[in-house]
Chains A and B, each alone.
Chain A
Amino acid sequence: MDNMNITAAQYQADPMSGTNSSIKATIDGTEMSVPLDLANRHYFEIMRQVEAGTLTIAPADT
């Protein structure tokens, strides 16, 4: 487990398909686009914090 400071998270929709395809998150002060893949350590940590109840992912803008 990594010690990451995640301060914001919001789903982003693929402009071509319209489905959620990434998460915009601020991680240790850097804004990132994080793919929805558990092999990605940022996504893994986001989901771990969501499961722990310490982080909420906002829905994509419509």
Chain B
Amino acid sequence: MSKARQLADLGNQVDDGAITGTNMIINGAMQVSQRSTSESVSTSDGYKTLDRFQYNEMGSYAGVHTMSQDTTGPSGFTNSLKFLTTTADSSLSGTDGFSLRYRVEAQDLQRLGYGTSDAKSCTLSFYVKSNVTGTYTINIQQSDATKMLGVSYTVDAANTWELKTLTFVGNTSDVINNDTGIGMQIQWGLATGPDWTSGTLRSTWTTTSNGDYHAGQTANVGSAVNNYWQITGVCLNVGDSAIDFPHESYGDTLAKCQRYYSYLGGTSYEGISTGMKFSGNGSVHGIQYPVTMRSPPSIAISNLIVTDRTIYDLDITNISTVQGLSTTYLRTSWVTSWGANGDAVLIAVKNGTTGRITFDAEL
């Protein structure tokens, strides 16, 4: 290859963000799964397994799926996100369906220049594998403007990893607010009832309308038990061509994920926080999150104990006094009936269990 060709290719990569911008999707290689590696999903939306990727259920969908971090992938990838159908819904009606959803934080999208004449195109690329061939759609929403567009792809060969590359135009009319809210939502349709498919797939940004969300989709991953759909190598970059997936260390990806969800805990007697007994029956603790979070998080606890110098293993069951007041730190007080003011008190995981305190600031 000539030096001129190398320089030209380098310039194209810079334009597409390979060097300057990288991937706007966190955990695209499906490495980090802090909550769980496998869950049965149905009924309600939620972040169930792999970090940053959300299960979304629509209408009165009756299908049930196992959502898991699979340990297979195309060359260069050791993990993927997998939906396996365990209860089928082969007769979708109305708004029934389910999808995989990803939300990008608004302030991380300012480079796109939306709302200006210089709004940039983006390219979404990913590897997909399924036994269900046919046409799938992806709905992309700009939340601040309540606008959307759509793209489609086909799974051409059953049970084969395929790389898909989809480019969509920038929005010259509507600004993405420079804040910590939802800037863009990407929704992979996996089962889409007729109310979602009756319209026309949008190629430009226009006001949301149910019939256009997944127009043209024919594939239904939930149509039969043991159907599956897998994805990995998800990348969203600036420009009209895909960059090579920018692999990063597990530690870097984990830290990025922890802005949205993290936890402290582990197994038997693993320490979480030391505190101090401060009144007749209370102790006060401060807990710093592993990283600064996107917003003040919701807190949940499971299988924790509080221990002081005279009594061990008092179960913590009351979350009432947990105060997740900021993006960096929470304060909590627990009931402890023993010891003297000023005594040290430890919060730890209950013996013989897996326990944790979780911090949820997901979009």
Task: Please name 19 further chain A to chain B contacts, defined as beta carbons within 8 Å, in addition to the given A30-B300, A37-B296, A39-B295, sorted by A numbering.
Answer: A3-B57, A3-B58, A5-B43, A14-B323, A15-B333, A22-B323, A32-B360, A33-B299, A33-B320, A33-B323, A34-B298, A35-B296, A35-B324, A35-B325, A37-B295, A39-B180, A40-B297, A40-B361, A42-B360
Q: Determine if A41 is an interface residue (Cβ-Cβ < 8 Å).
A: yes
A28 touches B323 (CB 8 A): no
A33 touches B294 (CB 8 A): no
Interface string of B298-324 (1 = CB under 8 A from A): 111000000000000000000111111
B319 touches A24 (CB 8 A): yes
Q: Nearest 6 A-B pairs (CB), nearest first?
A: A39-B295, A35-B296, A33-B322, A33-B299, A3-B45, A32-B298
Q: Could you name 23 residue pairs across A and B whose Cβ atoms are closer than 8 Å?
A: A2-B46, A3-B44, A3-B57, A14-B323, A15-B282, A15-B333, A16-B331, A21-B323, A24-B320, A27-B298, A28-B46, A30-B300, A32-B319, A33-B298, A33-B322, A35-B295, A35-B296, A35-B324, A35-B325, A39-B180, A39-B181, A40-B297, A41-B362
Interface string of A3-24 (1 = CB under 8 A from B): 1110000001011100001101
A12 touches B300 (CB 8 A): no
B325 touches A21 (CB 8 A): yes
A40 touches B44 (CB 8 A): no
A31-B298 Cα distance, complex, nearest whole Å? 10
Q: Determine if B363 is an interface residue (Cβ-Cβ < 8 Å).
A: yes
A5-B46 Cα distance, complex, nearest whole Å? 11
On A, residues with C-beta under 8 Å from B are: 2-5, 12, 14-16, 21-22, 24, 27-28, 30-35, 37, 39-43, 61
How many chain B residues touch A (Cβ–Cβ < 8 Å)? 30
Which residues of chain B are near A33, meaning CB under 8 Å? 298-300, 319-320, 322-324
Min CB distance B43 to A, Å, is: 7
B43 touches A32 (CB 8 A): no
B157-215 residues at the A interface, CB under 8 angstroms:
180-181
A3-B43 Cα distance, complex, nearest whole Å? 8
Which residues of chain B are near A61, meaning CB under 8 Å? 320
A33-B20 Cα distance, complex, nearest whole Å? 39
Q: Which of B298, B320, B323, B360 has the most CB of A within 10 A?
A: B298
A42 touches B46 (CB 8 A): no
Which residues of chain A are near B44, meaning CB under 8 Å? 3-5, 28
Which residues of chain A are near B282, meaning CB under 8 Å? 15
Contact partner of B295 (CB less than 8 A), chosen from A12, A21, A40, is: A40
A35-B329 Cα distance, complex, nearest whole Å? 12
Which residues of chain B are near A34, meaning CB under 8 Å? 298
Which residues of chain B are near A3, meaning CB under 8 Å? 44-45, 56-58
Which residues of chain B are near A27, meaning CB under 8 Å? 298
